[in-house]
């Protein structure tokens, strides 16, 4: 039985990841700034509190756990609610500390990077890439401290992989949503292309269950990873249920000169994740719609 250390374990993605890994039989060390109350703790999970921007604390914690893999999900995700310098410093320092400690321990590294490193979400002005769809070769050009911290974080992961000879996978996540997420439904039902604000990620998302499955595959020692690899982890379609290219053009008034999108497919191409990890998204916003319709039909 292997040991997996998960940072950011008290967050939405972190909580789902801890539960899934524990259910799969892993020994899980769950790390966050504070430990949850006893009534909220899961049996068999070892909860630890640490400031991951402190290298000494981080190194001691990782050394004591002796993990086979480290899943780094801790970060400040929103530069609009915090000082930019704090977002950048927290995310970069914690990434360096966690990755270096993990590498020293010989642990496989998997962490939550973001689509924001392309410059999609928090740009000062409306953003479009030079071509669609976006893949791992699309240039990264963030303007905000969060996206920039993810660019630097991937470089730190690559450096740890080189220095310590461990595999490292950067999962470039889209907007993570959860089963029954009302935000998708509300956005879809109120959407009007004539008045809609441009969407930085063109209405893309990923279901948390698909994020967890990507994590599980990436930490599997049977998954052949050499050095550092970055992969996009995004749902197959936008959450509006509309033609993607036509919607972008209606809202923004233009499309990139090179645009190869079919129907409502996402603007992010996850072919590399399928090729490298054998991962494809299994969950869609339509699952919730079908569930709601089935429930209402049963109630009638």
pLDDT in tens, 183-229: 889 999 999 999 998 888 999 999 999 999 999 999 999 999 999 99
Q: Give the pLDDT of residue 80.
A: 80
Assess whether pLDDT exceeds 50 at residue 65: yes
Q: What is the mean pLDDT of the chain?
A: 93
The DSSP bridge pattern shows strands 69-72 and 3-7 to be: parallel
Q: Give the whole-angstrom CA distance, residue 162 versus residue 216.
A: 23
Least reliable range by pLDDT among 122-126, 136-140, 145-149, 257-261: 122-126
pLDDT-derived band at 180 (thresholds 50, 70, 90) equals confident
Q: Give the pLDDT of residue 227.
A: 97
Give the architecture-level CATH label for domain 3-299: 3-Layer(aba) Sandwich (3.40)
Residue 165 CB contacts under 8 Å (≥ 6 apart), including other chains = none
Assess whether pLDDT exceeds 70 at residue 102: yes
Average pLDDT of 123-130? 77
Average pLDDT of 45-74? 98
Burial tier of 52 (Cβ tally within 10 Å: 0-12, 13-18, 19+): buried
Q: Name the residue with higher pLDDT: 5 or 299.
A: 5
Distances (CA, A) of 220 to 15, 70, 156, 236: 19, 11, 21, 23
pLDDT-derived band at 296 (thresholds 50, 70, 90) equals very low
Q: Name the residue with higher pLDDT: 147 or 128.
A: 147
Assess whether pLDDT exceeds 80 at residue 291: no
Q: Where are the domains of the chain?
A: 3-299
């Amino acid at each position: 039985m292997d040991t997996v250390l998960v940072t950011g374990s008290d967050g939405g993605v972190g909580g789902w990841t801890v539960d899934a890994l524990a259910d799969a039989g892993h020994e899980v060390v769950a790390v966050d700034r504070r430990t949850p109350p006893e009534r909220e703790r899961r049996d068999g999970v070892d909860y630890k509190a640490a400031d991951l921007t402190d290298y000494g604390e981080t190194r001691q914690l990782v050394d004591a756990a002796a993990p086979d893999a480290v899943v780094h999900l801790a970060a400040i995700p929103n530069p609009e609610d915090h000082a930019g310098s704090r977002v950048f410093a927290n995310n970069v320092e914690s990434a360096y500390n966690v990755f270096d400690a993990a590498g020293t321990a010989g642990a496989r590294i998997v962490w939550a990077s973001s689509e924001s490193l392309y410059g999609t979400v928090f740009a000062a002005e409306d953003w479009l890439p030079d071509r669609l769809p976006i893949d791992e070769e699309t240039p990264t050009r963030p303007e905000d401290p969060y996206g920039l911290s993810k660019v630097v974080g991937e470089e730190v992961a690559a450096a740890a992989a080189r220095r310590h000879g461990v595999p490292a996978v950067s999962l470039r996540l889209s907007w993570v949503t959860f089963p029954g997420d009302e935000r998708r439904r509300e956005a879809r039902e109120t959407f009007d292309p004539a008045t809609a604000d441009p969407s930085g990620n063109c209405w893309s998302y990923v279901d948390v269950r698909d994020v967890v499955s990507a994590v599980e595959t990436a930490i599997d020692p049977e998954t052949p990873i050499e050095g550092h690899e970055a992969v996009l982890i995004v749902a197959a379609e936008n959450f509006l249920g509309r033609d993607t290219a036509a919607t972008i053009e209606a809202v923004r008034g233009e499309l990139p000169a090179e645009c190869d999108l079919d129907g409502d497919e996402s603007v992010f191409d996850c072919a590399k994740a399928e090729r490298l990890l054998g991962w494809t998204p299994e969950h869609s916003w339509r699952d919730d719609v079908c569930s709601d319709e089935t429930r209402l039909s049963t109630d009638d």
